[in-house]
């Protein structure tokens, strides 16, 4: 029997494909009506907040309203599928995070993949960090690796879900260092944090902003970024410690494949202006989320590289969809 979310994905795909079949044409005067920005998660979360802050300055540049619409469910894949299957005229864009774009298509059969989209821009990219309890004996990534090698399988690693970016990062750490963990899934940072405080797990990987509000109870032993960040310059990266790990939590705008080039250009221009606007940069700073912009071509290459890397790790862990 199909799960409800699988039926919903199938329904989205069928109806949207019928709409897309109507065809598109380029419009030099794009846009002439409001643009819908799909967020694949519920209102109130980080992706939703980012979308609503970005929508305002983007709308000012486009000369029309950008309306955020939440299409939640199935780990973000329902909203991603609806975006992929929408009419490719530029009036439907999606603010898509890393999970629905680079891990979920490996974990289940979905009506979309990297080839289903044209890429507009990367809007943000926030590093994650390996954290331990404040009284942990691990002060560096080396401390952790040496202990794990001497005590294989003893360390418990909290992850927000099997196949989530923190889990993929944990798989990457295991692959890079040749050590083993027991991965235990929890429903988000809060339960993971509680499990670490009571000793059920020894480490987990949250968004770096988590450290700002819990600095008295946790510490970072490795920032999973290619370089240190200005908002927390004392955090040492895994790369500085000799382990090649960079697993950011990112999101960017995509449109259905086949969107006319002039329309994509207009959206990319609006996105760049929105990302660089004072209202957006100040709000992102307050959330501890670095603003990192990429144009469409660079963003597409980045997504494809992330998709391949994450797929390799999930495949090695035996988690790929059949």
Tens of pLDDT, residue by residue over 178-222, are 999 999 999 888 899 999 999 999 999 998 888 888 989 999 999
| Matching residue, tokens 């410690």 | 241
**Which of 16-25, 69-78, 154-163 bottoms out in mean pLDDT, i.e. has the lowest?**
16-25
* Whether 157 contacts 239, CB under 8 Å: no
pLDDT band at 17, cuts 50/70/90? very low
Contact 101, 114 (CB under 8 A): yes
Tens digits of residue pLDDT in 88-129: 999 999 999 999 999 999 999 999 999 999 999 999 998 899
* Mean pLDDT, range 286-309, rounded to an integer: 94
Of 7-21, 151-165, 197-211, 252-266, the range with the highest mean pLDDT is 252-266
Q: At what angle do helices 261-275 and 46-62 cross, to 10 degrees?
A: 110
Delineate the domains of the chain, giving CATH numbers in brackets.
4-125+248-316 (3.40.190.150), 128-241 (3.40.190.10)
For 53-116, list the strands marked E by DSSP. Answer: 66-70, 92-97
Cα(54)–Cα(36) distance, integer angstroms = 12
Omega before 31 within 30 of 0, i.e. cis = yes
**How does strand 249-256 pair with strand 92-97?**
antiparallel
- Nearest 5°: the CA angle 258, 312, 12 is 40
Q: From CA 135, how far away is CA 157, in angstroms rounded? A: 17
> Please, which pLDDT band fits residue 25 given cuts at 50, 70 and 90?
very low
In this prediction, residue 13 carries a pLDDT of 47
The structure's pTM equals: 0.88
Helix (H, G, I), strand (E, B) or coil at 68: strand
* Average pLDDT of the chain, as a whole number: 91
Residue 4 pLDDT grade (very low, low, confident, very high; cuts 50, 70, 90): very low
141 or 288, higher pLDDT = 141
Does residue 262 carry a pLDDT above 90? yes
Q: Percentage of the chain surpassing pLDDT 90?
A: 79
Helix (H, G, I), strand (E, B) or coil at 286: helix
Q: What is the CA radius of gyration of the chain?
A: 20
Please compute the mean of the pLDDT values over residues 55-73 and round it to a whole number.
Answer: 97
C-alpha to C-alpha distance for 231 and 245, rounded to whole angstroms: 19
What's the whole-number mean pLDDT along residues 147-165? 92
**Looking at residue 70, what is its pLDDT?**
97
At residue 58, the 3 state secondary structure works out as helix
Please say if the pLDDT value at position 19 is more than 50.
Answer: no
Residue given tokens 């898509």 in the structure block: 96
Looking at the predicted structure, is the pLDDT value of residue 72 above 60?
yes
- Residue 9: pLDDT band by 50, 70, 90 thresholds? low
* Mean pLDDT, rounded, for 257-275: 98
User: What pLDDT sits at residue 2?
Assistant: 47
Q: Which two tokens stand for residue 93?
A: 């864009």
Q: How confident is the model at residue 28 (pLDDT cuts 50, 70, 90)?
A: low
């Amino acid at each position: 029997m199909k799960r409800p979310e699988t039926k919903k994905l199938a329904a989205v795909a069928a109806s949207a494909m019928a709409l897309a079949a109507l065809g598109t044409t380029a419009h030099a005067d794009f846009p002439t009506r409001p643009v819908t920005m799909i967020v694949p998660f519920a209102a109130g979360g980080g992706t939703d907040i980012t979308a609503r802050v970005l929508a305002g300055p983007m709308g000012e540049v486009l000369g029309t309203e950008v309306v955020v619409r939440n299409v939640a469910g199935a780990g973000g894949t329902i909203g991603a599928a609806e975006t992929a299957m929408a009419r490719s005229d530029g009036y439907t864009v999606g603010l898509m995070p890393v999970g629905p774009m680079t891990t979920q298509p490996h974990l289940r059969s979905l009506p979309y993949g990297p080839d289903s989209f044209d890429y507009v821009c990367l809007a943000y990219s926030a590093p994650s960090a390996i954290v331990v309890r404040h009284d942990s004996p691990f002060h560096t990534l080396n401390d952790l690796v040496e202990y794990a090698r001497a005590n294989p399988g003893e360390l418990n690693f909290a992850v927000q879900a099997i196949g989530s970016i923190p889990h993929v990062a944990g798989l990457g750490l295991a692959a890079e260092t040749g050590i083993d963990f027991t991965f235990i899934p929890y429903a988000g940072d809060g339960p993971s944090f509680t499990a670490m405080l009571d000793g059920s797990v020894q480490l987990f990987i949250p968004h770096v902003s988590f450290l700002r509000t819990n600095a008295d109870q946790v510490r970072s032993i490795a920032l999973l970024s290619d370089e240190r960040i200005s908002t927390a310059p004392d955090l040492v990266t895994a790369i500085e410690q000799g382990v090649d790990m960079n697993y950011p939590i990112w999101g960017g705008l995509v449109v259905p494949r086949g969107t006319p080039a002039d329309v994509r250009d207009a959206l990319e221009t609006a996105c760049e202006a929105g990302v660089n606007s004072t209202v957006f940069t100040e709000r992102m700073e307050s959330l501890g989320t670095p603003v990192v912009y990429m144009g469409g071509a660079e963003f597409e290459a980045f997504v494809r590289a992330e998709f391949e890397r994450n797929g390799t790790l999930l495949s090695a862990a035996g988690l790929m969809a059949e």
